[in-house]
A and B are shown apart, each in its own frame.
Chain A
Amino acid sequence: MKNSKRNLWKTAGLTVLISMVLSLTSCKTTDLGLDNIDLDQLTNTFEKFIDLGDKTEEQEQAFGNEVAQVLLTDSRLLNNDQVQRYVNSVGQWLVQNSERPNLNWHFIVLDDKSFNAFAAPGGYIFITAGTLLRLNNEAELAGVLAHEMAHVLKRHYLEALQKQTQLDLASDIGILAYQIKSTRRDNYDSDTIENMELAEEISSAMDDLYTNGLARGDEEQADNMAVIICARAGYDPYSYIAVIQKIASEKPDSAGWQTFMKRHPSANDRLTALQPLMDSVFSSPGNYLTLSSRYQKSIR
């Protein structure tokens, strides 16, 4: 099982590498005017990758699709079309209030009783059925989805991957590009030793990322954005505070949780970090909704 997952990560890892290589090489032949860029001058090629916009959005989605495949190997889809559609409706309404409405977003409910939600690049948002059952209203659901959306909007997973693999795309990708170019003429040969090493590196970085989560700064940024996105969509922003308070009250009773919390801000620290925003922007009650009864009808 472990091996097959490793292989999937490997495929996903290689796909992103290939995508990034393709994005770099394709720039050289398109009208983006990047022909004369000296790759060695790029201190952070990944920023370039991010700035390329539409061209790489497709590749981000293709990569996200690979990651989603891996994640769906580990958890089952909830077999309830009504609930899946409902969560997609809430999600798509939030998307309409975000900066990337044109991504092909997917909101996926997993048949799992844990309290969890996560995202993959390109607009894949996962939420467990256990989370849905712990929430009280639609605004709380919107909060969880908006938090995960923020990670996609800001490309946190892609950036973290780059940091963790220490991939200096300017040099490493250059070498790999040559290898892939030559191997692509024949059939792609994944046994090339250098590729395998890089793939291994990316594979373990992904394991690490989805086990240990993102960095503290990313989480706090996603928290702040989640509150704003919810409010833009008309949802009560304080429902998000209620969700984080719920997380704070969960019993830390598993080894996985302990590992996770070692590196991450506690829910209580996240609440403290949210206070300035709530006090400045949401000090007076606005015309916001929680939609508790629609939620109960749709979920139960």
Chain B
Amino acid sequence: MKNLLIIVAVNLLFSTFSASAQQASTIIDAHLKTSPSIRSESIEFLKTDTSVIILERQGGWYRVETFPQLQGWLKMLWLRYSVTGTSDNGFSLLTEGGGVTVATGIRGLSEEELEKGQGDPYAVNTLERFTVSPEQAKAFAKAGGLKKKHLPYADTE
């Protein structure tokens, strides 16, 4: 009985993870690889629109699971996430809900937001207290182990 409880508990733990696991599908015909390298062996040939569950990422590769219980590696850009929406759990940083669920993402404001007008325009004058000096930024990078690399912008621009 005790063992059964442990199994249930472990399953619950895993199901919590799988609830947050991201579903995706392939956008091209692709080989499921044994390791995160284009030269690695193929486990299975997956047709376009094959559904997978993303388990982890390593560089530009995702380790995925596909039906039935087949695991292997696919390039990130061979996949597109399925639309899942996001839950409102864990918004502990916020002082209130706000009620806006737009997902414009990385640019643009919603019309609702432009209409809200609940902020303080003079807050702009208080921003200096958060600014970090170049020296502090360098120390911050060093503490994280980040190293500068010399890299030009690509020609693709």
Co-complex (A, B)? yes
List, in ascending order, chain B residues with CB within 8 A of A283's CB.
60
A247 and B113 contact, Cβ closer than 8 Å, known pairs A138-B144, A231-B149, A234-B147: no
Q: Is A165 an interface position by the 8 A CB rule? A: no
A interface SS class = helix
- The reply to whether B146 and A236 contact each other, CB–CB distance below 8 Å, is no
Residue positions of A touching B, CB distance < 8 A: 1-2, 4-5, 8, 65, 68-81, 83-85, 88-93, 95-97, 101, 104-108, 111-118, 129-130, 132-134, 138, 144, 147-148, 151, 207, 210-214, 219, 221, 224-225, 228, 231-236, 238, 241-257, 259-260, 264, 267-268, 271, 274-283, 285-287, 289, 291, 294, 299-300
Q: Is B69 an interface position by the 8 A CB rule? A: no
- The reply to whether B105 and A289 contact each other, CB–CB distance below 8 Å, is no
A88 and B117 contact, Cβ closer than 8 Å, known pairs A210-B108, A213-B108: no
Give how many B residues have a beta carbon under 8 Å from the other chain's beta carbons: 77
Q: Is B84 an interface position by the 8 A CB rule? A: yes
- The reply to whether A242 and B148 contact each other, CB–CB distance below 8 Å, is no
Give B105's nearest chain A residue, CB to CB. A247
A219 to B104, CA, bound (A): 13
What are 22 A-B contacts defined by CB distance under 8 Å? A69-B124, A73-B119, A74-B119, A77-B119, A77-B120, A93-B137, A106-B127, A112-B98, A113-B91, A114-B103, A117-B107, A129-B91, A130-B94, A224-B156, A233-B141, A233-B148, A242-B57, A244-B106, A249-B81, A252-B83, A252-B103, A300-B92
List, in ascending order, chain A residues with CB within 8 A of B115's CB.
1-2, 5, 74
List, in ascending order, chain B residues with CB within 8 A of A89's CB.
132, 136-137, 140
